[in-house]
Amino acid sequence: MMRLVQRNGWVAGLLVLLIILLIATKIIQPDFGASGVESLGRASVPFAFATAAMAIVVIAGGIDLSIAAMMAVCSVTAARLMVGAGDGETVLIVILVLALGALMGAINGAMVVLTRVPDIVVTLAMLFVWEGTALLILNTPSGAATQWLRDLILGSLSIPGLPERATFIPKSLVFVVICLIPFWFIMHRTKLGLSIYAVGGDPVAAFRSGVPIGRTRIIAYSLAGVLAGLGGLSLTMSTGIGEPIPGPYLLASVSAVVLGGVALSGGKGGIIGPIVAVFILRLVRMDLTLMSVDPNVTTIVEGTIMVVVVMLGGMLAMKGRRP
Amino acid sequence: MKSWYQGVAAAALLSGLGTAAAAEGYTIGISNTVQGNGWREEMVCAMKAEALASGLVDSLNIAHRNTDAAGQLEDIRNLIQAGVDAIVVNPANADGINAAIKEATDAGIVVVAVDQAVTEPSAYILSNNQEEYAYVGAKWLFETMGGTGAVVYMRGAAGAGADNDRDVGFKRALAEYPNITVAQEVFTGWQQDQGKQQILDILASGIPIQGVWTSGIDNVIVDAFVESEAPLVPIVGADNAGFVGQLASVEGLVGAAVTNPGSVGGAGVALALQILQGQMPQAQTVLVTPALWANNSDEGKALIAAGQNPNLDPEWPVSVSIPGWTTYTMDQIIACKGPGE
Amino acid sequence: MVHTQTDLPILDAQGIAKRFGAVTALNDASLTVAKGQVVALMGANGAGKSTLVKILTGALRPDGGHLKINGTDRSFSSPGAAREAGLVPVYQEPSLIRDLDVAQNLRLGDTPVEPFLHWVAALGITDLDLHEMAGDLPLATLRILDLARALASSPDVLLLDEMTAALPSDLVEKVLNVVREQADAGRSVIYISHRFTEIAQLCDRATVLRDGATVGDLPIEPGVEERVVELMLGAKLTPARIATHRAHATATGPARLGVRNLAAGSRLTDVSFELHGGEVLGVVALEGQGQDELFDVLGGFRRARGGTVTVDGAPVTFRHPADAIAAGHSLVPGNRADALLMSRSVRENIAIPRLARICNWGSISMRSEAETVTAAIERLQIDTRAQGEVRRLSGGNQQKVTIARWVASGVGTLLLFDPSRGIDVRTKRQIYQLVREMAEQGAAILFYTSELAEIPQACDRVAVIFNGKLVEIMDAADADEPRLMRAAYGLTSKVPA
């Protein structure tokens, strides 16, 4: 039990911070309740997927600057195909879009592995490639999203006998959790996950332990691609259309990954921490809007919070290590 | 103990009364998704100035950052949470934020979309006519070129709604002049430095060009011609202060500014306040028609001379007010202060 | 020594060649290992041992030659393939992933847990927690875990590269016993080490590499050492013992370095000694007796918990390594990677302390710097073929660079922490010689080593630390291995005067 707390100290700390922020929100806006949590949950969905994708690549010792652009490709593909699509067809479209994400991720990973050019350079180049691809698929924001898909993240979970709003659990949150469980399982309960950590932490030792380095990295990028696919789908689900210009998900995902306790040098951290960090960053944004802080100051506040939290966390971790 | 309760009750009552007394003062929410662009900054300042000048607004709640439609959904929902009376929004695109607008209007909040239209029927729209904007400018340009020659077509940001509307207008004009060809089509991304680099590259390449149509990145284009000592060709831009100044001062420059007032934001606030006070507009959509100020006609010269204002940022449109809508003074919009600031 | 005679060698590598661009690493390396045999693979730095090991274990593919396992031709495309063929290596650096716990590391390599735990216990680690992060374990434990992991997969051929280099003497003994037992039970072992005592104790044969080719294969018997060294170096060797005039602590006045009742961390409790200019004081201790803390305090990496340190008679407190350097202390740490800028050039690495001292924000006098650095490189005979990046030098040459930087800049007090770990005989001798020369020029040198045989060659006196306390100081001339060993294990009643 001690070990569980010790090892997940960072996540626990983030959860405490999240609760403090929720309480602060309630103080700032006494009406804050189920609908507020619901809107927070919905706003967090694309960020959560982008962040989980980035977390996996960073744990594998890389970085993917093309995540937001891949999300845009998936979003416009889904929006374009779903115009007039039936409920059954939509299932096929979802599968196709996720496969497309995996393919794009695999291309990123294969380029990194085969060319031996640093990840940051390859994925920066691919950012432009995917951006152009998205514009080729849809040159203006348009398209459609099937209603049942949109309903997946709309409203709160209903429990029989209770009014919908009384349950407090947004469907969007449930959607994120269900989608991320397989990835959490892969990262923490399979040999593939161990290999991803090993490749990111110490590639030489991993190679000597018999881990196929190149293949593992390509798979890590593909997993990130699938998550970018989910992120793109969630964009289409929330807006009802596809937007070819990537949103602000690249820097936001790097921020959440760092705040979530993943080391940018690779091999350390998990998925849960960054996801909690996503909610924290969204909630900070909401509080700043609620307090009608000067919009030009809000980004300064967001940046400052990140530096302070990461610094404090680092100091606490140092202290904890010394007996 | 009892007296303590009474005290609290009295305080609560008083504060309640206070709230009731201030009910006249509205809270207006603003959502904008492009930060650091002169036009959008003027729009936000016009919103602040109009809110202040109206005397009806207690506070503005501004969500102003660089984001996409999904981010704007988040901002609008946050404004709903903040309990605003009306939301004036410059939409990221026409369809993407309908869900949140519907939620807002269902909650009794007045929503006015400015600059660009939205397809959600419960929202009011007060917008510059972007298709017409491109059409009148391009038509003047092709006419000035004598109906023949090659133009550089400098668009805005690929995939943006306003850029697509303008493209429709430009293509409509192009179809009317079969001897006009497009020498180069580039996206400036509405970035000054990017646009300048692009025109410098085109000038350096020596492609013969007889005209430039640019989507609001204009004064740097004239700068590039002057700096590289290239012969000037007719240039169409927007009514940004820098470009309007050049139209009056640069020797040999033949050009036209098409108005695209950022003050449409102030008009949006005015419209929202009118609706809150029970004055419904005649139509759900109000379009502001662009005007053309060309420096090769006396009428245009007069407008350009009247539009000169050295106090404005060169990226700001000089048409800082919209008659019949905005009520603030020039000083108020330049001060860029909202109620309570 | 048990010689198991079989007709068919279990591993037979003949004429292995490997080139990296223009550099030939191996041209004709051969190695034969029979079932149940322990074969020492020997060679000076740069002879091609590492390359041959990488080829045998599937980390590199050879350009020529052939490799037979149990009589059939094989070529391994990956470490995994070599492992499946029964060839399991334990590398010089720990192979556990630091950011995973021990159990996860086992799963990663498909190591069966039960046999692993059996071997861990047999090798003398009793308090292992499988859920401890590998990165939190001490180096010696990591090395043992690597060996246990290799043994748990029941290899046919076990390849041990400098297995004992980072181990304290008690664990070395256990490792040697286990390896010998395994050989007697029919497993084959390729043993790479620079320690003749261990090789004599453990191995049946020695295969010697020089300049990428196998130059000898001889049975281990008394007196074989000189022959092996001859083969390794390709020439007759001057006598091992370095002739020195021991300027024996004749200095008067206050000592260069005085340490009184020093305590630091949880392990160092009470150490006192004096070190004069011109003297080399050896330090001997088993792993984890407080020697790390002693060097950390003297190098300014850690604050003392109690006691005093004096430099030239004046008490000092180091808050930062810069303070220690300013007081003339130069630390050569045990881990070379801690001291070097791995991706910078040899010259830059040597010049760094000079830059820090000479030019506070000023310009660098390129010529005077270049002259001093060149002199240091020549004096230490650093192999400068790969001087653009220190990373690409062999371990021995890297260690020379860490010492060369202090030779170039001049030192008052040199703190050497196990400088000869994993370094070949010739380089070791060069380092001893250098240590003596620096002492003769007036430097005071504190020299910790994990190899007891080094003490008489380089030191004037030797201090033995056990359980955080200094238990004995003796003249190096009297310090034979049995005596040092007894003291290091705390088997002495003598208290330093």
Residues of A with CB under 8 A from a CB of B: 29, 31-32, 35-36, 39, 42-43, 46, 134-135, 138-142, 150, 235, 238-241, 243-248, 282, 285-286, 289-290, 292, 294-296, 298-299
* Mean pLDDT to the nearest integer, B38-52: 92
Indicate which CATH number applies to the domain containing A130: 1.10.3470
Q: Which residues pair with A242 in a beta bridge?
A: A142
What lies within 8 Å, CB to CB, of C3 at 6+ separation is: C37, C204
> Of A292, A59, A101, A97, nearest to A197 (Cα)?
A59
Q: Is the pLDDT of residue B20 over 70?
A: no
Q: Is the pLDDT of residue B316 over 50?
A: yes
What is the pLDDT at residue B110?
96
Helices (H) and strands (E) in chain B, counts: 12, 12
Task: Give the angle subtended at the CA of C380 by the CAs of C375 and C384, to the nearest 5°.
Answer: 80
Cα–Cα distance, C388 to C467 (Å, whole number) = 43
Range of the domain at A226: 37-292
For the stretch B141-193, pLDDT in tens is 999 999 999 999 999 988 777 888 899 999 999 999 999 999 999 999 888 88
Cα torsion through B267, B272, B278, B283, rounded to 10: 70
For the stretch C409-429, pLDDT in tens is 667 888 998 887 767 777 788
For B335, the token pair is 């001060």
Q: In terms of pTM, does the model score above 0.80?
A: no
What is the pLDDT at residue A318?
63
Please check whether residue C178 is in contact with residue C122, taking contact to mean a CB–CB distance below 8 angstroms: yes
Q: Which chains touch A (3 or more CB pairs under 8 A)?
A: B, C
Please check whether residue B20 is in contact with residue B52, taking contact to mean a CB–CB distance below 8 angstroms: no
Please check whether residue B86 is in contact with residue B111, taking contact to mean a CB–CB distance below 8 angstroms: yes
Residue at A221 is within a domain: yes
- Residue C321 exposure: Cα atoms within 13 Å on the Cβ side: 11
* Mean pLDDT to the nearest integer, B46-58: 94
Judged by a CB distance cut-off of 8 A, whether residue A262 touches chain C is no
Q: Closest Cα of chain C to A269: distance in Å?
A: 9
Domain boundaries, chain C: 11-233, 257-488
Please check whether residue B1 is in contact with residue B8, taking contact to mean a CB–CB distance below 8 angstroms: no
Nearest to A245 among B78, B79, B159 (CB): B159
Contacts of B98 in chain A (CB under 8 A): 240
C-alpha C311 chain-centroid distance:
30
C-alpha C354 chain-centroid distance:
27
Q: Mutate which of B19, B77, B98 to disrupt the A interface (most A C-beta within 10 Å)?
A: B77
For the stretch C96-136, pLDDT in tens is 998 899 999 999 888 899 999 999 999 988 888 999 888 88
ipTM score for this prediction: 0.84
Q: Is the pLDDT of residue A320 over 80?
A: no
Residue at A25 is within a domain: no
Cα–Cα distance, B337 to B48 (Å, whole number) = 6
Amino acid occupying residue C125 = I
Q: Closest Cα of chain C to A71: distance in Å?
A: 30
> What's the full length of chain C, in residues?
497
Cα–Cα distance, A276 to A259 (Å, whole number) = 9
Please check whether residue A283 is in contact with residue A44, taking contact to mean a CB–CB distance below 8 angstroms: no
What is the pLDDT at residue C213?
92
What is the pLDDT at residue C365?
57
Task: Give the angle subtended at the CA of A163 by the CAs of A160 and A165, to the nearest 5°.
Answer: 125
CATH 3.40.50.300 for domain C11-233, yes or no, is yes
Instruction: Report percent pLDDT > 70 for chain B.
Output: 93
Cα–Cα distance, B138 to B154 (Å, whole number) = 12
Residue at A28 is within a domain: no
Inter-chain contact B81–A240, Cβ cutoff 8 Å? no
Inter-chain contact B81–A31, Cβ cutoff 8 Å? yes
For B88, the token pair is 């004036």
Q: Is the pLDDT of residue A164 over 70?
A: no
* Mean pLDDT to the nearest integer, B217-230: 92
What is the dihedral sign for C-alpha B95, B97, B101, B102?
positive
What is the pLDDT at residue C210?
85
Residue at A190 is within a domain: yes
C271 in helix, strand or coil? strand
Q: How many other β-carbons are positioned within 10 Å of the β-carbon of residue A243?
A: 31
* Mean pLDDT to the nearest integer, C297-322: 89
Cα–Cα distance, A288 to A79 (Å, whole number) = 32
* Mean pLDDT to the nearest integer, A83-97: 94
What is the pLDDT at residue C29?
93
Residue at A193 is within a domain: yes
Q: Which helix (H) or strand (E) holds B100?
A: helix B98-106
Cα–Cα distance, C226 to C16 (Å, whole number) = 27
Task: Give the angle subtended at the CA of B84 by the CAs of B79 and B85, to the nearest 5°.
Answer: 140
Least confident of A15-24, B107-116, C414-423: C414-423
Judged by a CB distance cut-off of 8 A, whether residue C6 touches chain A is no
Cα–Cα distance, B244 to B314 (Å, whole number) = 9
What is the dihedral sign for C-alpha C482, C488, C489, C495?
positive
Residue at A13 is within a domain: no
Inter-chain contact A209–C108, Cβ cutoff 8 Å? yes
DSSP letter, residue A156: B
Judged by a CB distance cut-off of 8 A, whether residue C112 touches chain A is no
* Mean pLDDT to the nearest integer, C450-470: 84
Inter-chain contact A285–B74, Cβ cutoff 8 Å? yes
Cα–Cα distance, A92 to C132 (Å, whole number) = 45
Q: Which domains does chain B have, with CATH numbers?
A: 2-128+262-289+319-335 (3.40.50.2300), 130-258 (3.40.50.2300)
Cα–Cα distance, C291 to C390 (Å, whole number) = 28
For the stretch A138-155, pLDDT in tens is 988 889 999 999 999 988
* Mean pLDDT to the nearest integer, C255-263: 91
Residue at A95 is within a domain: yes
Residue B197: band (very low, low, confident or very high) from pLDDT cuts 50, 70, 90: very high
Residue with tokens 């650091």: B36
> Of B136, B89, B97, B98, nearest to B260 (Cα)?
B136
* Superfamily designation of domain C257-488: P-loop containing nucleotide triphosphate hydrolases (3.40.50.300)
Judged by a CB distance cut-off of 8 A, whether residue A35 touches chain C is no
What is the pLDDT at residue C275?
92
Average pLDDT across chain C, whole number: 82
Judged by a CB distance cut-off of 8 A, whether residue A207 touches chain C is yes
Q: Is the pLDDT of residue A79 over 90?
A: yes
Q: Which chains touch B (3 or more CB pairs under 8 A)?
A: A
Q: Is the pLDDT of residue C358 over 70?
A: no
Total count of domains within chain A: 1
Contacts of B68 in chain A (CB under 8 A): 235, 243, 245-248
The string of DSSP letters for C140-178 reads HHHHHHHHHHHHHT--SEEEEESTTTT--HHHHHHHHHH
Least confident of B60-74, C227-241, C352-366: C352-366
What lies within 8 Å, CB to CB, of A220 at 6+ separation is: A56, A57, A59, A60, A62, A109, A196, A199
Inter-chain contact C59–A268, Cβ cutoff 8 Å? no
Q: Is the pLDDT of residue C432 over 50?
A: yes
Query: How distant, in Å, are the alpha carbons of B176, B215, B315, C205 from that of B237?
Result: 20, 6, 12, 88
Query: How distant, in Å, are the alpha carbons of B170, B212, B251, C10, C477 from that of B209?
Result: 17, 8, 19, 80, 93
Cα–Cα distance, C206 to C351 (Å, whole number) = 40
B235-238 β-sheet, strand order:
B180-187, B149-155, B211-214, B235-238, B255-258, B292-294
What is the pLDDT at residue C368?
67
DSSP letter, residue A176: H
The string of DSSP letters for C475-488 reads EGGG--HHHHHHHH
